[in-house]
Chain A
Amino acid sequence: MIDLDIFSQGAIAAFIQVIMIDLVLAGDNALVIGLAAAGLPTEQRARAILVGIVAATVLRIAFASIAVELLEIVGLLLAGGILLLWVCWKMWRELKSPGHKEAEAVPATGEGRVRRKTFAQAAWQIVIADISMSLDNVLAVAGAARDHPAALVFGLALSIVLMGAAATFIARLLNKHRWIAYLGLAIILYVSLDMIWRGALEVWPHVSG
């Protein structure tokens, strides 16, 4: 039954759960958005972060509305993991590209920097990563707050704010110290391999049986 009393003990517990889950699950989105936006000029960086947040929000709402149907599709997690692995590969190639090294060699004073990455490339990477990660996030939050719609809405709003702020801070840091991007990339690689592993475990009984 849907609990409309937001001050009941159950609702407060759901709120705490949703806040914690959203804090935990917005991290990977924020990291990918920050990594993808880091190579862009300041004005394009803000636009790329906005694109990432809007895409993540729309995808979360869309996935939440068909969460039950999505749960029945076998291999979705595996496909998401492979997609994220591809994004990692693209980011790795960008970091290793000669244009990027030239950009690092020039002092980070702003306008004189060599920039190879375009806004479209960054936006594309962000949207693909959002698609693969939002599904996981929605299912966890929907499970925790299914009887408390207010907590669900609050959780979504919180994760949007968190993603925007965290992605901005990370992009700002990576713009000055690009070597830290390798660390971020390693974390995203871990997320993609984890998704592939869990997805493969889910698919295996269907393939072998």
Chain B
Amino acid sequence: MRRTSSPQNSHRKVPNGDRFALVAFVAIVTSALAALFITLPRPVVLPAFSICALAAAACLALMASLHSRQAVRLLPSAWNLAGAFTLVGCAAAILGEVEAIVEYTRFTPPRSRADD
């Protein structure tokens, strides 16, 4: 008799390698976010946090979309995590100050000798 695969069974079939890669990626991104928080000057922490989280979300979405249709069904966590990182990135962006970025990335033209 043929067995039909239930959603619970299909979840068990997620390759361990994929699961490990996902967990490792999340661990790396979380460490990177923590490092940003510690090392960067306060005014640019949130914008940098936001860019890092949005980049992580993009990577996760790319990872999920590169899998076949079947694998995407087996690995829904990648899309969920991409959504969660996007939400974190947007929240950090909203709470951050635009003025701080403008100040931090301001370009000051070199003074010519004629100015002196």
Q: Which residues of A contact B (CB under 8 A)?
A: 9-10, 12-14, 16-17, 20-21, 23-28, 30-31, 34, 140, 143-144, 162, 165-166, 169-170, 172-174, 176-177, 180, 183-184, 187, 190-191
Distance between Cα atoms of A34 and B76 in the complex (Å): 19
Interface secondary structure of B, over-half rule? helix
Is B37 close to A, CB under 8 A? no
A10 touching B86 in the complex, CB below 8 Å, given contacts A24-B93, A27-B94, A165-B58: no
Q: Which of B58, B84, B101 contacts A24 (CB 8 A)?
A: B101
CB distance from B74 to the nearest CB of A (A): 16
Number of chain B interface residues as a range? 20 to 34
Among B87, B90, B95, B105, the one with the most A-chain Cβ atoms within 10 Å of its Cβ is B90
B17 interface residue per 8 A CB criterion: no
Q: Which residues of A contact B50 (CB under 8 A)?
A: 23-24, 27
CB-based contact B61/A165 at 8 Å: yes
Q: B92-116 toward A: CB 8 Å interface, digit per residue (1/0)?
A: 1111101001100111010000000
Known contacts: A23-B50, A169-B61. The answer to whether A176 contacts B102 by CB under 8 A is no
How far apart sit A181 and B93, CA to CA, in the bound complex (Å)? 17
Contact (Cβ within 8 A) A31 B61:
no
Complex CA gap A203/B91 in Å reads: 28
Establish whether residues A173 and B80, one from each chain, have CB atoms under 8 Å apart when the complex forms: yes
Top 3 closest pairs, chain A to chain B, by CB:
A173-B83, A13-B107, A27-B93
Task: Give chain A residues whose Cβ lies under 8 Å from the Cβ of B71.
Answer: none
Q: Is residue B57 within 8 Å, beta carbon to beta carbon, of the partner chain?
A: yes
- B83→A169 contact, CB < 8 A: yes
Contact A173 B93 (CB under 8 A): no
Q: Which residue of B lies closest to A23 (CB)?
A: B51
By a CB distance below 8 angstroms, the chain B residues around A140 are 98, 102
A residues in contact with B109, CB < 8 Å: 9-10
Residues on B with C-beta less than 8 A from A24 are 47, 50, 93-94, 96, 98, 101
Complex formed: what's the CA distance from A180 to B54 in Å? 18
**A187 pairs with B90, CB closer than 8 A:** yes
Residues of A near B95 (CB, < 8 A) are 187, 190
Which one of A13, A143, A170, A183 lies within 8 Å of B86 (CB-CB)? A170
Query: Are B84 and A173 interface neighbours, CB within 8 A?
Result: yes
